[in-house]
A and B are shown apart, each in its own frame.
Chain A
Amino acid sequence: MLYVKNLQKSYSIGKKSYPVLKGVDLSVAKGEFVAVMGPSGSGKSTLLNCISCYIPFEDGKITLGGQELKGMNENQLAKIRNEKLGFVFQDFMLLDGLTIRENILVPRIIQGNVSHDAEELADRLIDLFGISHIRGKYPAEVSGGERQRTAVARSLINQPLIILADEPTGNLDSKSSRTVIEAFENARSQMDATIFMVTHDSFSASFCDRVVLLKDGTVYRQLEKNGRRSAFHDLLLDAIKEMSGDES
């Protein structure tokens, strides 16, 4: 589904260049729920932004559903973002002037294809994520967890190949975080969604099938869940501890 090969990206400040991704290799299979974890500055968000085509990268290859993203023009990239990718952001990125239902439909509106089917799907997603009571409300009138579930629903409206989530629980309390993770699980189970999530939160990551640990711009280690979530959480904590220990 998603292949990232030898991805390299650096930022320039003045005349100095700071490499952030130093050859990242990873892949995500269809229907997989994958998390990327790592300390601050490890390149997690940069990796996600490169896959999202929000920022250009210098070297490497990103292939999504068999299509290579590098070299595409603006219009092609916009089409990919709209049709093949779904996005969930840390600060929700909902449009304040639209109702919850309208926000969910935004990718379809951009596509110019708000069919009856799309509206039905939106209503289904609303029900699926437990936000039917707020469908007519505006983002400012609902809680953080509800906003994020709206964002998850929005990311699914075009039935994308993959959902890219950037710290989706970063601004939420534990209860709301749990509802958002449940929303992802529902999306996977009910809609066969593939999810690629960047997170700091090992608890949220423990719900994933696989966790990619990133350190200093390279993949440090990949952990797979084989069994109970709590055991996977413990494994994750140990791996993070080990990674931090390497640092010290």
Chain B
Amino acid sequence: MMTMKDLENKLQKASRKQAALYLLCNFVSLMLITAYAAILFSPTILNVLPEGGDSRKQLYAIFVMALFGCVIFTIYAASLFFRKKSRQLGILMALGASKKRLAPGLFREVALLSGVSSLAGIAAGIPFVLLLWKLFRLFIVDTGEMALVINFKCLFVSAAFYLLVSACACIMAYQYLRKTNILDVVQEEHKNEPVKELGRWCGPLGIVLIFAGAVAGYYSGSLYMKFLQAYPPAWLNITYAPVFIGLYLVMIHTVIHGWVSHKKKPYKNIISRSMMKFQGKQTVNSLIVSTVLIAGGCFAIFYVPVLATGQMVNINNNEYDYAYYYRADQEVPQKQEVTELAGTYGVSLKDWQDCPYITLGMDGYEEIQGENDSFHVEYSPLVGGGDFLSESSYRKMTGQDITVPPKSYYAVTGVESSYNLFTNSNATKLTNMITRETIDVEFKDYLHFNLMTGNKNFYVLNDQDYEKISKNLTPVWNGSLVYFNVDGKDSYDFADTFFHTFVDSFGPECEYPRYYDPVRKIAEEEKGLIYWGDTDQMTPVSYEETDSSDFRLYWAYMPQFRILDRNDFMTTFSVYLMAFIFVALICFAAAIVIGYTRCQAIALNNRYVFDDLKRLGGPPAFLSTEVRRQCLIVFRIPAVTGMTLMTLVYMLLLYANDNRLSSGELYSLLICLGVLAVIAVILFFIYRYTVHRVESDLGINKTNS
């Protein structure tokens, strides 16, 4: 004898196809979120990406976008499921089933579906990330520090996400049950969801708002600091809000009006336009989410070519094959030893240049943090250290004919740069850190030499001033700078051996990162404070891990060997690159699932329209064209908008670095465009597959046409 529970079970079995879409969406979003969270929480990533650094912030920002996207499309999939389910509910209600009677079964079904799919998604997330990471290591790059360690705390994020989407599904189920009008429930499936119609002005206004929001968001932080003398709080990111409002308006314009005038041919595409318009709410929502995800994916994937090109261009533009510097108290191999070592690898050296440099204290203004993130600017006689060459040494090392007037100094920046953010261009006093003798100086201008910027940023002093201020400096405050070229073919093995020999010759007193400032340490200690570099806040570097990203990127005396840097680029940046590629894959995967789901929804919601068109004599080719038009909007609009937006954002970011685009930056943007072309091709094939599936669901058989 059949009971209500048996009936519900049987109906659930019958509506497996409707549930499948919801299960798929829930599964995919939980899998992606778990995988992303696993990466974000992984010590492998956290150890390499500096805390508070841009890379980590970018990963978090894209995670928030992916999270937002996954929540939206899971809720959307749930709403589709309930729309189909509502007919069953409506019939049972019409036949006298009370809401009280239907509620347990419905909630049981929702809990079962979301529970099973979420658990499966969470369970698949970890193997997914491990597998993908393994593939990266197998096919792209493999280093010791890439061994992926999973911190299972990431599952808390998945659990929270699961609770959120389950709660949303339950609320939705409750809302459907609460509807007092049974006819509404029965007809829910056929209901249109027209979006609020706005005039043709909404598209152009949207574009303006997107740009206004991007500029407002980008500059609001610095304006806030300038005018309020405080560090910008997180809520200031709200200034980016116009971007999203603009995006919404652009999508509405696209769905309602389209960007092509229909005045001349008002009946052209009228069916697909009206279908799109009357499912407007859903369409606009999914287009926005897909756009945000594609933009996030582009942002992540752009990191790779921009970083790689930047590094490669820098390496190629270095003036010498080998460059290094060391403190005078360190016993590093000298010219003869280096030449002998090179000889064992069949390498001969030429153009050997070396010169001394000194480290001095510089004065300037520093930001002193107060309460509530406020700060004030205070003069400090020892704001930080600087490494100085004499003008004659600079001339010798660079071959540039320069003269430095007395009581002035120059800072060195790259050949293509107009300034150097990491140098002090406001100093008025330089201090000998042993005698505390000072000289008054003023900043003159920038000199340009690639090898004297980056790892260590050099300054240049007048010869007499240099002579005067360097008196009685101990070897700790003295150093040497060495450049040389290779005569003929270089050898990676020589470079690698020399690098390790060089590092081995340093004592533990030099085992610190380049942002550790000995001058600042003295200044802080003289004030009775503990220098932050001596606290746990500073990420140390270790001679034990000379091949790690941390050591290669941040060691204070890291040499620049062209062949080594070029060959080891992938291993040095492996974790950065793989983390961003991974994130991009997650964003693109989520966007693709949304596009596919949306197209499936079009097939479900418009089945009756297509049936009517068939009855009215619409041939399969015509129906197929209508399907293609619908799907094309779903895939093309987010792809074009997301890719365009992110390309512009990247251009803005690169331009804002030094108010110009260097040749390396232009080259990296070109590669980004190439990457976009590849993504567009992939999306096109997925679009084709989706069209094929939708046609098959709608029973459109083109071969009979």
Interface residue ranges, A against B (CB under 8 Å): 49, 52, 54-56, 74-75, 78-83, 85, 87, 89, 93-98, 102, 105-107, 109-112, 114-115, 119, 154
Q: Chain B, 88-122, contact with A by CB distance < 8 Å: what is the 0/1 string?
A: 10111111111111000000000000000000000
Other than the known A81-B96, A119-B1, what 12 A-B pairs have Cβ atoms closer than 8 Å?
Answer: A55-B181, A74-B98, A78-B101, A81-B94, A81-B95, A82-B96, A95-B14, A95-B91, A106-B95, A110-B4, A110-B96, A115-B1
Query: In the bound complex, do residue A93 and residue B10 qualify as a contact, i.e. CB atoms below 8 Å apart?
Result: no
CB distance from A195 to the nearest CB of B (A): 17
A83 CB contacts on chain B under 8 angstroms: 96
Pick 23 A–B contacts, CB within 8 A, sort by A. Answer: A49-B183, A55-B181, A56-B181, A74-B100, A74-B180, A75-B98, A75-B100, A78-B93, A78-B99, A79-B96, A79-B98, A81-B93, A81-B96, A82-B96, A87-B95, A95-B11, A95-B92, A97-B13, A97-B15, A102-B10, A106-B7, A109-B3, A111-B96
**Could you tell me the distance between the alpha carbons of A54 and B186 in the complex, rounded to whole angstroms?**
11
Query: In the bound complex, do residue B4 and residue A112 qualify as a contact, i.e. CB atoms below 8 Å apart?
Result: yes
Does B182 sit within 8 A of A, measured CB to CB?
yes
**Could you tell me the distance between the alpha carbons of A48 and B143 in the complex, rounded to whole angstroms?**
75
CB distance from B472 to the nearest CB of A (A): 89
- Chain B's closest residue to A86 (CB) is B95
**Could you tell me the distance between the alpha carbons of A78 and B97 in the complex, rounded to whole angstroms?**
6
CB distance from B586 to the nearest CB of A (A): 36
> Assuming A55-B183, A110-B4, is B96 touching A98 (CB within 8 A)?
no
**Could you tell me the distance between the alpha carbons of A78 and B93 in the complex, rounded to whole angstroms?**
7
CB distance from B675 to the nearest CB of A (A): 47
Query: In the bound complex, do residue B14 and residue A54 qualify as a contact, i.e. CB atoms below 8 Å apart?
Result: no
- Chain A's closest residue to B98 (CB) is A78
**Could you tell me the distance between the alpha carbons of A107 and B100 in the complex, rounded to whole angstroms?**
16
A96 CB contacts on chain B under 8 angstroms: 14
- Chain A's closest residue to B91 (CB) is A93
Query: In the bound complex, do residue B7 and residue A54 qualify as a contact, i.e. CB atoms below 8 Å apart?
Result: no
**Could you tell me the distance between the alpha carbons of A93 and B94 in the complex, rounded to whole angstroms?**
9
**Could you tell me the distance between the alpha carbons of A80 and B98 in the complex, rounded to whole angstroms?**
10
Does B138 sit within 8 A of A, measured CB to CB?
no
- Chain B's closest residue to A55 (CB) is B181
Query: In the bound complex, do residue A114 and residue B3 qualify as a contact, i.e. CB atoms below 8 Å apart?
Result: yes
Closest 5 CB pairs of A and B: A97-B14, A82-B96, A78-B98, A81-B96, A110-B97
Does B421 sit within 8 A of A, measured CB to CB?
no
Query: In the bound complex, do residue A106 and residue B3 qualify as a contact, i.e. CB atoms below 8 Å apart?
Result: no
Consensus secondary structure, chain B interface: helix
- Chain B's closest residue to A85 (CB) is B96
**Could you tell me the distance between the alpha carbons of A115 and B1 in the complex, rounded to whole angstroms?**
7
> Assuming A49-B183, A55-B183, is B4 touching A97 (CB within 8 A)?
no
> Assuming A93-B186, A112-B4, A114-B2, is B92 touching A106 (CB within 8 A)?
yes
**Could you tell me the distance between the alpha carbons of A81 and B10 in the complex, rounded to whole angstroms?**
23
CB distance from A93 to the nearest CB of B (A): 5
Interface size on B, residues (CB 8 A): 29
CB distance from A150 to the nearest CB of B (A): 13
Query: In the bound complex, do residue A109 and residue B183 qualify as a contact, i.e. CB atoms below 8 Å apart?
Result: no
Query: In the bound complex, do residue A107 and residue B182 qualify as a contact, i.e. CB atoms below 8 Å apart?
Result: no
**Could you tell me the distance between the alpha carbons of A117 and B6 in the complex, rounded to whole angstroms?**
19
**Could you tell me the distance between the alpha carbons of A114 and B186 in the complex, rounded to whole angstroms?**
25
A89 CB contacts on chain B under 8 angstroms: 94
B93 CB contacts on chain A under 8 angstroms: 78, 81
**Could you tell me the distance between the alpha carbons of A246 and B483 in the complex, rounded to whole angstroms?**
107
Give the most central of B3, B95, B101: most A CB within 10 Å.
B95
CB distance from A98 to the nearest CB of B (A): 6
**Could you tell me the distance between the alpha carbons of A104 and B92 in the complex, rounded to whole angstroms?**
12
CB distance from A148 to the nearest CB of B (A): 15
**Could you tell me the distance between the alpha carbons of A173 and B367 in the complex, rounded to whole angstroms?**
86
A107 CB contacts on chain B under 8 angstroms: 95-96
Query: In the bound complex, do residue B186 and residue A78 qualify as a contact, i.e. CB atoms below 8 Å apart?
Result: no
**Could you tell me the distance between the alpha carbons of A95 and B14 in the complex, rounded to whole angstroms?**
9
CB distance from A17 to the nearest CB of B (A): 17
Query: In the bound complex, do residue A54 and residue B3 qualify as a contact, i.e. CB atoms below 8 Å apart?
Result: no
**Could you tell me the distance between the alpha carbons of A155 and B93 in the complex, rounded to whole angstroms?**
14
> Assuming A54-B183, A95-B88, A107-B96, is B1 touching A114 (CB within 8 A)?
yes
**Could you tell me the distance between the alpha carbons of A154 and B1 in the complex, rounded to whole angstroms?**
17
CB distance from A239 to the nearest CB of B (A): 29
B90 CB contacts on chain A under 8 angstroms: 93
Give the most central of A93, A97, A107, A112: most B CB within 10 Å.
A97
> Assuming A102-B10, A106-B92, is B2 touching A54 (CB within 8 A)?
no
CB distance from A164 to the nearest CB of B (A): 10
Q: Chain B, 1-43, contact with A by CB distance < 8 Å: what is the 0/1 string?
A: 1111011001101110000000000000000000000000000
**Could you tell me the distance between the alpha carbons of A115 and B14 in the complex, rounded to whole angstroms?**
25
CB distance from A175 to the nearest CB of B (A): 21
CB distance from B106 to the nearest CB of A (A): 14
A112 CB contacts on chain B under 8 angstroms: 3-4
